[in-house]
Amino acid sequence: KRGGKGREIYLEKREKILDSLTNFIEIDLLRRGQRMPILNHKNKSHYQILVSRGKQRPRADLYAFNIPNKIPEFPLPLRPEDTEPIIDLQALLTNIYDVGSYDLKIDYTQKPVPELSEKDATWADTWLRQEGIR
């Protein structure tokens, strides 16, 4: 999402994929920078997952969510004749967090970068206190 040469290169590759019959998934978990362009959509969420099946374009599924929400499960497009597995990214990231002991490595007394809105910061502080992390 950050500007510059890397974004330009990514957008060019993205456009080539979206002009093909290749399935495409884009997971945007960054809160800083310019959002990836999505045709006819003015999404205001913090995060989003785009699932675009090559055979169904220009239609696509957008899973938008915010800080307090669980990451939604989404289907992983494969070949048309294959059953699409459902990806539970929240469970995967929770497992990585637990196994990596990130609760011991992250200083939760510090504000996140970029800072949260007042409403989201209040929610995060309440949640961290309920979890005994802050």
* pLDDT tens digits, 62-108: 999 999 999 999 999 999 899 999 999 999 999 999 999 998 899 99
Report how far Cα 15 is from the mean position of its chain's Cα atoms.
19
Band of pLDDT at residue 1, cut at 50, 70 and 90: low
Which are the contacts of 14, defined by CB distance < 8 A and separation ≥ 6? 24, 26, 36
Q: What is the pTM (predicted TM-score) of this model?
A: 0.87
Integer-rounded Cα Rg, in Å, for the chain is: 17
Tell me the per-residue pLDDT of 46-64, one tens digit each, with 9 for 90 and over: 899 999 999 999 999 999 9
How far is it, in rounded angstroms, from Cα 58 to Cα 94? Answer: 33
Q: How far, in Å, CA of 45 to CA of 90, rounded?
A: 17
Our separate counts of H helices and E strands in the chain read 4, 5
Pair 49, 87: CB distance under 8 Å: no
Instruction: Tell me which residue has tokens 């374009």.
Output: 57
